[in-house]
Amino acid sequence: MNNLAHEIGFVPPAGWPAMSRAECRDRLTAPGERFEMETIDIRGVPTRVWKHAPTNMRQVAMAARTHGDRLFAIYEDERVTYEAWFRAVARMAAELRERGVAKGDRVALAMRNLPEWPVAFFAATTIGAICVPLNAWWTGPELAFGLANSGAKLLVCDAERWERIAPHRGELPDLEHALVSRSDAPLEGAEQLEDVLGTPKDYAALPSAELPQVDINPEDEATIFYTSGTTGQPKGALGTHRNLCTNIMSSAYNGAIAFLRRGEEPPAPVQKVGLTVIPLFHVTACSAGLMGYVVAGHTMVFMHKWDPVKAFQLIEREKVNLTGGVPTIAWQLLEHPERANYDLSSLEAVAYGGAPAAPELVRKIHEEFGALPANGWGMTETMATVTGHSSEDYLNRPDSCGPPVAVADLKIVGDDGVTELPVGEVGELWARGPMVVKGYWNRPEATAETFVDGWVRTGDLARLDEEGWCYIVDRAKDMIIRGGENIYSSEVENVLYDHPAVTDAALVAIAHPTLGEEPAAVVHLAPGMSATEDELREWVAARLAKFKVPVRIAFVQDTLPRNANGKILKKDLGAFFA
């Protein structure tokens, strides 16, 4: 038993685990079983894949259609069934084709979590186009960068995003069409999405139709999800149909193992209701969430914006079984003073990834909600799930993100970038498997640096134990994760450097009880120049998304401490905010 498990008071049930992880794997992946594997060649690398995974997004959409009158999505007073959703997807797919969108063309998607989001996503990917989900929190210039960099031919967005994008329309020569949903104002340079689809309440009345015929191979490109780089502009991770379909099986595999470890047979799938609170433009919500949900026939409940009390109301009203996303969400549900006023007994599981979680959180979810905690690790470059564990396994190793799924491999590599380190030693985490993306869109140098013979260099520092469980020790040095949102220090530092009074700047993480960490900056001003904390925060807010703005700024008399290579010694700067 893990020492930390003892500290949080976890006592394994009698006879647990009934099977070793290796025995579970052998049983679930045996010939003829649901999780059977085969080895195929992907870009010259022999790779284990799920033999029975869907081969492309068309197959996923067809499987989802079989759920018929089951509720697909709930948003405020809008309720969309699977059949209605499919009709909207087929209609939208035909519309994209009519507007000249062909296989390989980019269709950008920029909106908050609305029923229109999964319609546009599937409409694009089922005709072989590449969907480009853009971060809805981005500013106008950031959104314009994503549209220009991807060469998007068509944009689907909501009115809020269009307001930010419209001033940059002239900078986007590749963008031929823009379809905007939920706009009350007259549109210039764009059209109403409702003129094509109607509102979500109208989807059920659309004519029944099939998807346009397109041949799509598993290795065809399906998505570009942008990940901020630690240097310069965000990079677009180029995902395939296989990447997305792999996640469907990986999530189900992790779920099945929890039952076998308990000595129980994995049950027949049951349709659940999930409260989706993290944005679909993240691979966590789209790839690890949406993909598995639509195949299983789960119902997704969307929120206009995150609010714990509204979440309590929705959990009670819709009898929500599953929620989570990032640790922040779980903490806020647990610690809110109004929690006792609502019936949350329908909750069965609270799962998250994307940020480090305190072991104490694992215990509290189990104790306070009677729900089983689950955790996993992945990144934009792996289209989400690489590792995962839940239930007793997570309670027993609350500081781990789990072992890799059966089709994935992990290794720990030393500072030389070559030597594989033994069990227990800390080094850079490398991962491989059919979930790893092709590379970065139009960034050959960055691709060659990060993707090596089928492995992705994660930039995370980690160790593996003797049974293969992974423990993330630290992250790529310059990244701060605020409630699941990645903040790359160099991006914020570059904006601070642009201020005329600033000659030296560094962004560091300061601890936050529910968000995990927040950004704070240490700044040195040029002699004779002045700037206040508020002024610099406003300067950053005008140029970057709000979550990237430093919550505190400290001023120093001298330039910042550096090592012999001229790199700022960030570990010395936390003291300014102690």
Residue whose C-alpha is closest to residue 485's, from 276, 279, 213, 253: 279
Using DSSP's 3-state secondary structure scheme, residue 455 falls into: strand
Cα–Cα distance, 516 to 482 (Å, whole number): 6
Confidence (pLDDT) at 415: 86
Residue whose C-alpha is closest to residue 181's, from 229, 109, 132: 109
Local confidence band at 574 (pLDDT 50, 70, 90 cut-offs): confident
The neighbour count for residue 479, using CB atoms within 10 Å, is: 18
Cα–Cα distance, 18 to 15 (Å, whole number): 6
Output the CA torsion sign for 462, 460, 138, 524.
positive
Structure tokens at 23: 């025995």
CATH superfamily of the 3-53+237-474 domain? ANL, N-terminal domain (3.40.50.12780)
Evaluate whether 72 touches 80 at the Cβ level (below 8 Å): yes
- CB burial readout 340-361, b (16+ within 10 A) else e: eebebeebebbbbbbbebebeb
CB-based burial label for 253 (10 Å; 0-12, 13-18, 19+)? buried
Domain 85-216: CATH class, spelled out: alpha beta
Q: Which residue has the higher pLDDT, 263 or 6?
A: 263
Confidence (pLDDT) at 503: 80
Structure tokens at 114: 């609305």
Q: pLDDT by residue (tens digit) across 153-175? A: 999 999 999 999 999 999 999 99
Evaluate whether 111 touches 164 at the Cβ level (below 8 Å): no
Cα–Cα distance, 472 to 12 (Å, whole number): 24
Evaluate whether 175 touches 201 at the Cβ level (below 8 Å): no
Local confidence band at 565 (pLDDT 50, 70, 90 cut-offs): very low
Structure tokens at 498: 């642009």
Output the CA torsion sign for 489, 492, 498, 501.
negative
Tokens 């992880």 — which residue? Answer: 21
Transcribe 233-293 into DSSP letters: S-EEEEEEHHHHHHHHHHHHHHHHHHHHHTT-PPPPP---EEEE-S-TTSHIIIIIIIHHH
Cα–Cα distance, 494 to 481 (Å, whole number): 18
Q: pLDDT by residue (tens digit) across 372-402? A: 999 999 999 999 899 999 999 999 998 899 9
β strands within 414-533, DSSP E: 427-432, 439-440, 451-452, 455-464, 470-474, 479-482, 485-488, 502-512, 516-525
Beta bridge partners of 437: none
| Phi, psi of 550, rounded to the nearest 5 degrees | -60, 135
3-state secondary structure 89-106: HHHHHHHHHHCCCCCCCE
* 230 pLDDT more than 50: no
Structure tokens at 290: 């949406």
Q: Give the start-to-end residue ranges of the domains of the chain.
A: 3-53+237-474, 85-216, 480-577
Write the CA distances from 29 to 60, 234, 255, integer angstroms. 21, 38, 14
Peptide bond into 17 cis (omega under 30): yes
The Cβ-side half-sphere exposure at 158, using a 13 Å CA radius, reads: 16
Using DSSP's 3-state secondary structure scheme, residue 491 falls into: helix
The neighbour count for residue 453, using CB atoms within 10 Å, is: 9
The neighbour count for residue 165, using CB atoms within 10 Å, is: 28
* 90 pLDDT more than 70: yes
Confidence (pLDDT) at 564: 45
Confidence (pLDDT) at 475: 62
Confidence (pLDDT) at 500: 85
Q: Which residue has the higher pLDDT, 5 or 67?
A: 67
The predicted model gives 452-457 an average pLDDT of 97
Cα–Cα distance, 510 to 520 (Å, whole number): 7
Q: pLDDT by residue (tens digit) across 92-135? A: 999 999 999 999 999 999 999 999 999 999 999 999 999 999 99
Cα–Cα distance, 72 to 115 (Å, whole number): 9
Q: pLDDT by residue (tens digit) across 287-339? A: 999 999 999 999 999 999 989 999 999 999 999 999 988 777 887 888 788 99
Q: Which residue has the higher pLDDT, 478 or 291?
A: 291
Evaluate whether 409 touches 431 at the Cβ level (below 8 Å): yes
The predicted model gives 19-36 an average pLDDT of 97
CB-based burial label for 501 (10 Å; 0-12, 13-18, 19+)? middle
How does the average pLDDT of the chain come out, rounded? 93
Q: Which residue has the higher pLDDT, 329 or 438?
A: 438
* 408 pLDDT more than 90: yes
Confidence (pLDDT) at 35: 98
- CB burial readout 310-339, b (16+ within 10 A) else e: ebbebbeebebbbbbbbbbbbbbbbebeeb
Write the CA distances from 430 to 23, 244, 340, 409, 456, integer angstroms. 25, 20, 43, 8, 6
Do domains 85-216 and 480-577 share one topology? The answer is: no
Return the ∠ at Cα 336 (arms to 332 and 338), rounded to 5°.
Answer: 140
CATH fold for domain 480-577: GMP Synthetase; Chain A, domain 3 (3.30.300)
| Phi, psi of 21, rounded to the nearest 5 degrees | -60, -40
